[in-house]
Amino acid sequence: MKRRVAILISGRGSNMAALIGAAKSADFPAEIVAVISNHADAPGLATAAASGIATAVIESKPFGKDRAGFEAVLQRTLDENDVELICLGGFMRLFTAGFVKAWYGKMLNIHPSLLPSFPGLDPHGQALKAGVKISGATVHFVIPETDAGPILMQGAVAVADDDTPQTLAARILEIEHRIYPEALRLLASGKVRLDGDLCRISGIAGTGSTMISPAID
C-alpha cells in the first residue's frame, strides 16, 4: 500500500512538483493525495491542479498569531484525506510544538543549506558571507526548532567565488529536486528509523563519492 502524503506549500512549489513527478512512478512507495497552501495565490497550486492533485487553501493570515486555530483546520483537512506523511515544500509558517509532536517522525522539510549550518532566512546569503566552499540542501524531520531535526538526506554543491545568492540558489535547487523524492522514497518504504535525535537508514550500500572544493588534481 502506498503511503498517503500531503505537501504543504506557500509559494512556487518546485519541490512539490519534483515530489509529484516522482510519485507518478508505479513503483514509488507514496502517493501525493493533497497539496495544501496557506496562501491562495501560491503559484504551486495551479501546478498541482494541472497534475490532477487535490488542492486546498487554508489562509493563515486571518488566524494571525493563533497558530493552534490554523492547525486545527489543517489537521481536519489532513484527516479528511487520510494523510499519513507530510512534506513541507517552502511552507513558510511556524507550527506549535503540539502539532510538531503529533507529526514527529512523519513530517519532512527541505532546507537549502547543509544543516545545521545556515538555518532560517537567506541561507544562500549566509553561506556566501561565511565563505564556505561547499553548500547544499538537507531533508530532515521536523521538530519545534526551525530548520532543525534528524537529518534524512543531504546533497552538496561546490560554492564558487563569483556565486551570488541567486546562482547558488539555482544550483542547490537542482539538488533539492533530486534528494527530496529519494528521501520520501526511503521514508515511505520503511527504511528510515529514528534513533534518538538521529536518523538511521537501512539498506544503503557504500558512502558514495567525495567532494573537494575548490577542485584539486
Chain residues in the site for ligand GAR (CB under 6 A)? 9, 11-15, 44, 89-90, 110-112, 147, 173, 176
Least gap, CB of 51 to ligand GAR (angstroms):
15
Active site residues: 111
Task: Quote the cell numbers at residue 216.
Answer: 584539486
Distance in angstroms (rounded) separating the CA atoms of residues 99 and 9: 17
Phi-psi region of 137 (alpha: psi -120 to 50; beta: other; left: phi over 0): beta
Report the alpha-carbon angle 122-124-130, nearest 5: 105
Task: Quote the cell numbers at residue 6.
Answer: 500531503
- The H or E element containing residue 67 is helix 67-80
Task: Quote the cell numbers at residue 24.
Answer: 507518478
Least gap, CB of 1 to ligand GAR (angstroms):
27
Residue of this chain nearest to ligand GAR (CB atom)? 90
Least gap, CB of 161 to ligand GAR (angstroms):
22
Beta strands in the chain (DSSP E): 3-9, 30-37, 55-57, 85-89, 107-111, 134-141, 151-158, 192-195, 198-201
C-beta closer to ligand GAR: residue 166 or 210: 166
C-beta closer to ligand GAR: residue 30 or 179: 179
C-beta closer to ligand GAR: residue 50 or 72: 50
- Tell the residue number behind the cell numbers 511556524, with chain if given: 94
C-beta closer to ligand GAR: residue 46 or 79: 46
Least gap, CB of 140 to ligand GAR (angstroms):
10
